[in-house]
Amino acid sequence: MKPLLALTLLAFAAVPATAQDSAPDEEVPSIMNAEEVDSTDFLWIKRLLVVFSDTPADPQYIEQMGYITDRLDALTYRDVVVITDADPSARSEVRQRLRPRGFNLVLIGKDGEIYLRKPAPWHVREIVRSIDKLPARQREMREGKAGES
């Protein structure tokens, strides 16, 4: 009887621990508007891919967002949050910091450094290759972590 009681108590003690461990982390949306974002909130947590345009109707902006939405899973896997800013009059924090002119694609690493600036749309394949060459991403791959920091 005593082993059964000990086993039952052990089972009840383990249940709250597993419930806490399996609680989902607060999910960050994969695509966010620049007006809702403070880029410093992502420092050492996520990489930022910022897509600038002077208007949401810009053909380059539409093309880039098409590439991104088609392969968003590849970016999410690498801890990337896409920030869009197609309204220069809003004067978002990232627009003031990066000062784009017209269409611009900017990759910011987890360390806050700018690693890529492109004046034309890029396929996600090329973006992913650039990310995989970053030192922090190389370390993540060596340690066997998918996209975690």
CATH superfamily membership of 31-142: Glutaredoxin (3.40.30.10)
**What is the predicted pLDDT for the residue at 65?**
98
At residue 40, the pLDDT reads: 93
Segment-wise mean pLDDT, segments of 10 residues, the chain, 149 residues: 42 39 57 95 97 98 98 97 97 96 97 97 98 94 72
Domain ranges of the chain: 31-142
Q: Note the pTM of the prediction, 2 decimals.
A: 0.79
Distance CA 94, CA 5 (A): 59
